[in-house]
Chain A
Amino acid sequence: MTADILLQVLVSGLLIGLIYALVAVGLTLIYGVMDIVNFAHGEFLMLGMYASFWAFTLFHVDPVIALPITAVLLFGVGIVVYQTVIRRVLKAPMLSQIFATFGLMILLRGLAQFFWKPDHRLIPDSLVSGNIALGPVQFGLPQVIAALGAVGVTGALWFFLHRTRLGTALEATAIDREAATLMGIDGQKMFALAWGIGAACAGIAGGLIATFFPIFPEVGSNFILIAFVVVVLGGFGSVAGAFLAGIIVGLIEVVGGFVIGPEYKTAIVLSLLLIVLLVRPKGLMGKA
């Protein structure tokens, strides 16, 4: 194994890891604010991909340019899901909450298959296509843009949560809902906001992935398992943790897959999940 190949593998792992991070931040945000695990998160990603696909096919808008529209659309989807489904199970037992989001996952997949057929689709010739070569290392331009987008969005989200009034209110709700309510923060509004932002993150991730990944109704299932590993490793509810963990998981998957064997790459990632759960259940940066 030469140094060139190792470098290439590291770069590839970093790029995919950043995308995992972006998928996972939305998931971890929702959990952090209201302790609900959103099993339909992969389907938000799928909706984001389809939004980009249709924007491209119907209106010839490139996925990268359509990103703000995709984000707003998915923000809306998140709010609607919160108002129609989640609000009703807020005080229900955890099992009901799990089934509610799980049912939503199946519903969204089914609807996508019904309306958009189970075909695999691809966005041909996006603005960002082709390769960049840096010495011996090759980058796919779509992957680089997606990774940069992931960094940007996660950074913006972190800034929003820690440096703005509204974001701080959201954080406050996450830390202690009752105390936040006493301070005059509307919990319901914060929950809806968390769902909106969480879904928008998945939507942006979808829009970025759509430039290089096939789009089909079940595509969420490919990503969601890894997103859960990332959330657990980063610590439930921690945006910064999810970001760091996404990179770690991406690197471990690609480098481990290359060194030990690609047939074991999923096993490697899932073993990591087990180890984290055993050794440090609260994850890298989770709240205790």
Chain B
Amino acid sequence: MRFTVAKAKGQHAATRRQTITRLMATAALLATTALTGLGFGMSSARAEDEIRIGVIYPLTGAAASTGVELKAAAELAAAMANKEIATPDGLVVGAGMPHLKGAKIKLIFGDHQGNPQVGATEAERLITTEKVVALTGAYFSNVTATASQVAERYGVPFLNGESSSASLTQRKFKWFFRTTPHDDLFVTNFFTFLEEMEKKTGKELRTLGLFNENTLWGNETTKLQVKLSDERKFKITEKIIYPAKTTQMTSEVQRLKAANPAVIMQSSYLGDAILSMKTYKELGFSPSMLLANDAGFNDSEFLKTLGKDGEYIISREVWALDQAERNPLIKKVNDLMRERSGVNFNGNSARAFTGIAVLADAIDRAGSTKPEDIRKALQETNIPASGLIMPWKGIKFDASGQNELGQGIIVQVQDGKYMTVWPFDVATKDIVFPMPAWDKR
């Protein structure tokens, strides 16, 4: 009897173990299918005249909504290169692929889910299984870092269009190219902007109050700002690195108020950005200029929550829709984007579009799909501003692979919209300066 019980128990345990094993196997299988499904779907036909480009974006996970927009932008650029839709004159991809006898570009998408490890695996899969001739992506700087490492190892060109961490082009990679300006350049832009503002208005803007949050980003920004103000003879009258996610900013704002600098340079994520604006208003502090470092101040929630109190802040951007008013090319391309995917371009998708366009242009000029030829063509890239939908001076890569003609723009909230106010030659609105005091609005 005892034996039977033991046996029954054993059997029971065995069945349970089997069930668990089976369940796990099924789960693993499902996971694999889900992961590679995208790849399988894409790799059905492989014609001879196909130019296969691997594109790695966050198509699932927290940043999926951005990933979907990036994908739409990439597909628009590919459709233009393939002459599937009419392309406005002068655009960098407009010519099709004449040097490759009209070969068609085929984008093979990989999904990194916001995870650097997955990004590297996807890069490997695209290179070895899908035999792509070049890679692009990956939006997240940390994923771009790992994925481009794989490309470097295999000797495949990697063109990054939308990651802004400065360190990416400091790695002395041979196969890495980046079209977008990086974070350091954006901060440098601030100082150039201030100097030009001084010339334009005849007012001194030499005293700065640095007001940055205390995580990696805020600290790095502070260091760079201190260095640049030394070099360019600006004076920092107050430097505050505040604890992120705080309950009150009274002490911070009081100190800024006491130091009374002409310009506040602020780096904050959304919650802190909102709280600081509220505190400025509460304590009646209005510097003549509030110069924000993107992030919280450009979040779509910022103006939605603050409404009128968000007016007149100045922030950096990579792109703004009002550019379409200035440049008919941008308007045409944006119309095509909206027609196809129902959304307007934004800073991310416009940069993704440009990345694919530049890559297609380089492959065409290379007249070949050999990685070495494409790399050489990328190095020789020299695209004028008129061929781009970006507010840049053009595209030309330096030895590190960084586009040296890129620049950010500076926007100001006017009537509830972000309007380009600098560089002055691409501005759509005059800057409102000084910022009106709270009681005079």
Chain A residues in contact with chain B, CB under 8 A?
1, 5, 8-9, 12-13, 16, 20, 119-122, 124, 131, 133, 138-140, 143, 212-214, 216, 218, 221-223, 226, 253-258, 261-263, 265-266
Inter-chain CA distance A261–B251, complex, in Å, is 8
The answer, yes or no, to whether B271 is at the interface (CB within 8 Å) is yes
> Is B383 close to A, CB under 8 A?
no
Instruction: Give the size of the chain B interface in residues (CB under 8 angstroms).
Output: 30
Provide a sorted-by-A list of 5 A–B residue pairs whose CB atoms are within 8 angstroms. A9-B250, A122-B274, A213-B278, A254-B250, A263-B242
Give the residue among A1, A120, A213, A263 with the most B Cβ atoms within 10 A. Answer: A120
- Is there contact, CB below 8 Å, between B247 and A226? yes
Q: Does B214 contact A (CB under 8 A)?
A: yes
**Which chain B positions have C-beta within 8 A of A266?**
243, 246
Chain B residues with Cβ below 8 Å from A212 are 278, 282
**Candidates B241, B252, B282, B305; contact of A257 at CB < 8 Å:** B252
Q: In the bound complex, how far is the Cα of B398 from the Cα of A178, in angstroms?
A: 80
Q: Does B393 contact A (CB under 8 A)?
A: no
Rounded to whole angstroms, the CA-CA distance of A16 and B247 in the bound complex is 9
Indicate whether A120 sits within 8 Å of B251 (C-beta atoms), given known contacts A1-B258, A213-B275, A262-B242: no
Known: A12-B248, A214-B305. A131 touches B274 (CB 8 A): no
CB distance from B274 to the nearest CB of A (A): 5
- Chain B 240-270, CB-CB to A under 8 Å as 1, else 0, gives 1111011111111011011000000000001
Distance in angstroms from B329 CB to nearest chain A CB is 34
Q: Are B214 and A263 in contact (CB under 8 A)?
A: yes
**Contact status B254-A138, CB under 8 Å:** no
| B305 and A122 form a contact (CB under 8 A) | yes
A214 to B302 CA separation, bound complex (whole angstroms): 11
A122, A213, A263: the one contacting B241 at CB < 8 Å is A263
> How far does the alpha carbon of A26 sit from the alpha carbon of B262 in the complex, in Å?
44
| Total contacts A-B at CB 8 Å | 96
- Contact in complex: A131, B284 (CB < 8 Å): yes
Residue of B nearest to A122 (CB): B305
B415 at the interface (CB under 8 A from A): no
In the complex the two chains form, what is the Cα distance from A214 to B279 in whole Å?
12
The smallest C-beta distance from B300 to any residue of chain A, in angstroms, reads 9
Chain A residue nearest to B256 in the complex (CB): A262
Q: How far is the CA of A120 from the CA of B240 in the complex (A)?
A: 24
B250, A13: Cβ atoms under 8 Å?
A: yes
Chain A residues near B275: list those with CB within 8 A.
213-214
Query: 5 extra interchain contacts, Cβ-Cβ under 8 A, other than A5-B254, A214-B274, A255-B251?
Result: A9-B254, A13-B250, A121-B305, A221-B245, A262-B249
- Determine if B283 is an interface residue (Cβ-Cβ < 8 Å): yes
Q: Are the C-beta atoms of A253 and B248 separated by less than 8 Å?
A: yes
Q: Is the CB of B306 closer than 8 A to any CB of chain A?
A: yes
Residues in chain B near residue A9, CB distance under 8 A: 250-251, 254
Given contacts A122-B305, A214-B271, A262-B242, contact A138 B283 (CB under 8 A): yes
Complex Cα distance, B305 from A21, in Å, reads 27
Q: Is the CB of B306 within 8 A of A138?
A: no
How far apart sit A265 and B283, CA to CA, in the bound complex (Å)?
19
Contact of B254 with A8 in the complex, beta carbons under 8 Å: yes
In the complex, which residue of chain B has the Cβ closest to the Cβ of A17?
A: B248
A138 in contact with B250 given A214-B274, A221-B245, A263-B242 (CB within 8 Å)? no
CB-based contact B305/A262 at 8 Å = no
A7, B159: Cα distance in complex, Å: 57
Residues of A within 8 A of B49 (CB): none
Shortest distance in angstroms between A1's beta carbon and chain B's nearest beta carbon? 7
Min CB gap A218→B, angstroms? 8
A258 in contact with B255 (CB, 8 Å): yes
Of all chain B residues, the one with the shortest Cβ separation from A129 is B281
Q: Which residues of B contact A5 (CB under 8 A)?
A: 254, 257-258
Residue of B nearest to A226 (CB): B247
B342 at the interface (CB under 8 A from A): no
Contact B240 A262 (CB under 8 A): yes
* Residue from A124, A218, A262 within 8 A of B307 (CB atoms): A124
CA distance A266 to B250 in the complex (A): 13
Kindly list chain A residues whose C-beta atoms are within 8 Å of the C-beta of B248: 12, 16, 253-254
CB pair B251 A265 closer than 8 Å: yes
Nearest CB of chain A from residue B265's CB, rounded to whole Å: 15
